[in-house]
Amino acid sequence: MTPAIFLDRDGTILEDHGVLTCAADVHFLPGVVEALQALKRRFRLFVLTNESLVGKGTLTRQQVNLVNGHMLRELHRDGICIEELYACPGAKGTCCKCHKPGSEFLVDAAQRYGLDITQSWTVGDHPHDAELGRSAGGNGIVVLTGHGQKHRADVPKGVPVAFDLAEASRIMFAGMQ
């Protein structure tokens, strides 16, 4: 069984400018590509993103797919393979089991790809990103990029906090047995 990293999209991989509607809105945070290149050597990489604005009618699935497709192509060009990107279109507060911190996508990925969740990590700029990993029996880490700084006081005790994905990768590597 293989460990994996489940990454949030906006504020963790991409600059969070609010509503991302097209390829021109895709801007990687500094150091993300290098951090993912290092992580891919030991972990399988996945993206889990809440796209609540689809459920609210502000964004279309087509717009989300355009942004996601462009991001994945750019990462692939840099030698980074995202095994699968999971996007929940449900609005926050719905009973959707895939909306983070719901674990439906994580459980699906673990079963489909033979992942060792106990050695895996969820990474994002909101406490619910870390909560997802921990509630599924794995690990979670919060990055201070995106909205992370705003939510720092809400991070539960015992959850590592990193300045950015590069620092988070060092923490994850140190945590491997």
* Alpha-carbon span 63 to 8, nearest angstrom: 18
Residue 14: DSSP 8-state: B
DSSP letters of 27-50?
A: -BPTTHHHHHHHHTTTSEEEEEEE
How far CA 35 is from CA of 8, 42, 80, 83, in Å, comes to 14, 12, 10, 16
Annotation says 164 is catalytic: no
| The two structure tokens encoding residue 71 | 């991001």
Question: Among residues 10, 16, 125, 129, which one is catalytic?
Answer: 10
How far CA 43 is from CA of 37, 113, 115, 161, in Å, comes to 10, 12, 10, 20
Annotation says 125 is catalytic: no
Catalytic residues: 8, 10
